[in-house]
Amino acid sequence: MATPMFDEDNDTFVPPLLEPALAALREGLRSFLADPQQRMALRAELESFAGRPTPLTVAHRLGSTWGGRVLLKREDLLHSGAHKLNNALGQCALAKYMGLGNVLAETGAGQHGVATAIAGARYGLRVTVYQGATDVARQALNAQRMRLFGATLLPVEDGAGTLKEAVNAAMRAWVRCWQDTAYCLGSAVGPAPYPRMVREFQRVIGDETQAQLERLEIMQPDALLACVGGGSNASGFFTAFVDDPKVQLIGCEAAGAASLVNGQPGTLHGMESLILQTADRQVSETHSISAGLDYPAVGPWLASLKESGRLTPYAITDREALQALRECAELEGILCALETAHALAGAKRYLAKHRGATVVVCISGRGDKDLGIIGDAS
Amino acid sequence: MTLEKTQTRSRPPVAQGTKPHKLGIYWTLGDPTLEETLAIAQALVDEGVDLLELGLPFSDPLLDGPLIQQSHHRVTTAGTTFNAVCSCLQQVTGYAHKHGTEVSVMAASQLLYDNTRRAALPTVDGLLITDISSHKMSPFPMPSPRVYFVSQEVVLSPAFKGLPNEPMSMIYLTRVQGITGAGQEASATTARAVAKLREWSQLPLWLGFGISTPQDLAQCMAAGADGGIIGSAFLAAMLPHVLASKGGGSKVPWREVVAEWLAPFRAANTG
């Protein structure tokens, strides 16, 4: 078989039991996106509730320390503290539009779980979140927040108890209850139409950035950097710029979970993409200090950009990420999430080789949830 | 497919005028070990089971209930390799075919994604890839005929346009909505789904998911199916022996254990 081109709309590798649920979702989504009132209402929610647009911050001290011009797209300032809410509000608005009263979600670090719980509270939907037991423990702040927003949190004990087990558990549950329950998937992964839908709901990040750069008279940054777990913030950030080949797109992964760098073609969770796997084609257990990047695959859109050479992947170590997090805190007064710190570390690495370049980094989330881990690791 | 009696098989004669209940049993290859899998498979064949549905062990069995998930976990964490599984499958298939039992393999597409893997898999009667959309052709060349895996909801939807045009051995229709697991309630729509499929295909039609008892199997037949496949219920009954075996206990008399479990099904078939 020739090297496959990964396709976010590919619906070949879907378990038949999920087909009716996905068919209903596809129809609901088509109708929702075609309705100008729905799109306007969602945009209004993103502004008046979530706090969009988020600022584009010039990081003077990081820039002069790292040897270039550094701008930060501040998704950490979005309500709930991460970009996840853009997608959760979109999918929950869709659920309500489709007449579904319940929502289930998987979550890694907990930000998507929190975002779904918030959106559920806002729209009057009953939310259940599946989170790996390991992640529940290491991201306790988010577990507490989800419960406060009224969601039921179900720890998943299987396997290593991280994100892939949570996805498995959520999909199994959805097969049984799809007629009255939406599955709010948190990243640009999974069976079609999820990868494209999530990218569509997140593209506001890059669209705003493009307009904000123009106002600063920066017509063409040299590089955009984002952290990559499943790829939701990166997909959303990169979409507006993908057709401009002079803007380098850099996806920064955790070295212990680097599917763009080390993954091989395969299938997982309803998608054909780059999967971290053993020689025996079992899906690998991954490691990252950041729960949100601890996933052994990446969405097909980013995988296809990597295969075509449009996207450059970086594998960032825990140590590099922690170092970048500290520098951003000490030089700019911004505490970013451990996931995000991988993108900052990537920017530092890029500028070391491209002195004087202009880079824009997506600050995908804030780091309050990580204070315990940052403290332990010092 | 009514089997000829052979000396090693103990299948009793079918009551006059009734259609025999064809019985398939699911087992995860390598559970608890490859040697014991062979022994269990031989016991099932000797006791007259019509079909073995054998799962390739996978790290992420998405749509199986807890019992079958755990069986995959036991095998993958023991480090059982694909090549070793293939050798076991070859032996099981050889024995099964000598005694008139069909063999199908059940696998996630990830495990058979590349050419060399598909070439290494022994030829069997049918291959069920658990994550291929039921309206799509198989996305890669299949080393054995496809087992057409489809859910009732899909069959009964107005959009259903029949089976993809490729070689198939049988239809595996899910009996209930949801994942595998013993004891799920029978769906009233099963008979309608079977009837609708019969309009499209004359392939042998098996029901699976949630079948535990002879009564469940009889319902499958009443709904018009050719047979029923049991997974979790059989595994639940074998589980104490599986775990004892893994714990290093004495050799399990699989033939006796399997015969005892099958007895009510046999009685129902001849009653």
Q: Which residues of B192-223 are buried (b: 16+ CB within 10 A; e: fewer)?
A: ebbebbeeeeebbbbbbbbbbebebbbbbbeb
Catalytic-labelled residue, pool A73, A290, A364, A369: A364
A13 with B131: Cβ contact below 8 A: yes
Confirm whether the ipTM is greater than 0.85: yes
Alpha helices, DSSP H, located in chain A: 19-33, 36-48, 60-66, 84-97, 111-123, 133-138, 140-148, 163-177, 194-202, 204-215, 232-238, 259-262, 300-307, 318-332, 338-353, 371-377
Place of tokens 């022996």: B241
Provide the pLDDT for residue B248: 76
pLDDT of A4 > 70? The answer is no
pLDDT digits (tens, 9 = 90+) for A67-117: 999 999 999 999 999 999 999 999 999 999 999 999 999 998 899 999 999
Q: How many Å from the N-terminal Cα to the C-terminal Cα in chain A?
A: 47
pLDDT digits (tens, 9 = 90+) for A209-226: 999 999 999 989 999 999
Cα Rg for chain B, rounded, in angstroms?
A: 18
Catalytic-labelled residue, pool A75, A106, A208, A272: A106
Smallest CA–CA distance, residue B197 to chain A, in Å, is 15
B151 with A16: Cβ contact below 8 A: yes
Provide the pLDDT for residue B8: 42
Residue A1 — pLDDT band, cuts 50, 70, 90? very low
Task: Indicate yes or no: pTM above 0.80.
Answer: yes
Task: Reply yes or no on whether A106 is catalytic.
Answer: yes
Residue A276 — pLDDT band, cuts 50, 70, 90? very high
pLDDT digits (tens, 9 = 90+) for A71-81: 999 999 999 99
Provide the pLDDT for residue B1: 36
CA distance A225 to A345: 10
A159 with B82: Cβ contact below 8 A: no
Task: Reply yes or no on whether A96 is catalytic.
Answer: no
pLDDT of A310 > 80? The answer is yes
Q: How many Å from the N-terminal Cα to the C-terminal Cα in chain B?
A: 20
What is the pLDDT of chain A when averaged over all its residues?
A: 95
DSSP state letter for B127: E
B139 touches A at CB < 8 Å: yes
B200 touches A at CB < 8 Å: no
Provide the pLDDT for residue B17: 45
Catalytic-labelled residue, pool A73, A84, A306, A348: A84
CA distance B227 to B216: 11
Alpha helices, DSSP H, located in B8-142: 34-46, 66-77, 82-98, 115-120
Closest residue in B to A275 (Cα) is B110
Can the peptide bond before residue B32 be classed as cis, meaning omega within 30 degrees of 0? yes
Closest residue in B to A282 (Cα) is B59
- Average of pLDDT values for A144-155? 96
Which of B117, B131, B153 comes nearest A270 by C-beta?
Answer: B131
Q: Do the Cβ atoms of A31 and A212 come closer than 8 Å?
A: no
Smallest CA–CA distance, residue A175 to chain B, in Å, is 5
Provide the pLDDT for residue B180: 59
The chain A residues in contact with chain B (CB within 8 A) are 1, 11-17, 19-20, 23, 158-159, 164, 168, 171-172, 175-176, 265-270, 275, 277, 280-283
B140 touches A at CB < 8 Å: yes
Provide the pLDDT for residue A377: 64
User: pLDDT (tens digit, 0 to 9) for every residue of chain B, 271 residues total?
Assistant: 333 333 345 554 444 445 678 999 999 999 999 999 999 999 999 999 999 999 999 999 987 888 999 999 999 999 999 999 999 999 999 999 999 999 999 999 999 999 999 999 999 999 999 999 999 999 999 999 999 999 998 999 998 999 999 999 999 999 766 555 554 555 568 999 999 999 999 999 999 988 999 998 998 888 999 999 999 999 999 999 999 987 777 789 999 999 999 999 888 766 4
A17 with B174: Cβ contact below 8 A: yes
CA distance A55 to A229: 23
Q: Closest Cα to residue A361, out of A371, A369, A337? A: A337
Provide the pLDDT for residue A376: 67
CA distance A163 to A109: 8
Task: Reply yes or no on whether A84 is catalytic.
Answer: yes
B77 touches A at CB < 8 Å: no
Tokens standing for A378?
A: 């010092």
Counting one residue from A and one from B, how many pairs have CB atoms under 8 Å apart?
Answer: 93
Which of A267, A281, A282 comes nearest B131 by C-beta?
Answer: A267
Q: Do the Cβ atoms of A130 and A166 come closer than 8 Å?
A: yes
What percentage of chain A exceeds 90 in pLDDT? 88
Tokens standing for A216?
A: 């600063």
Residue A138 — pLDDT band, cuts 50, 70, 90? confident
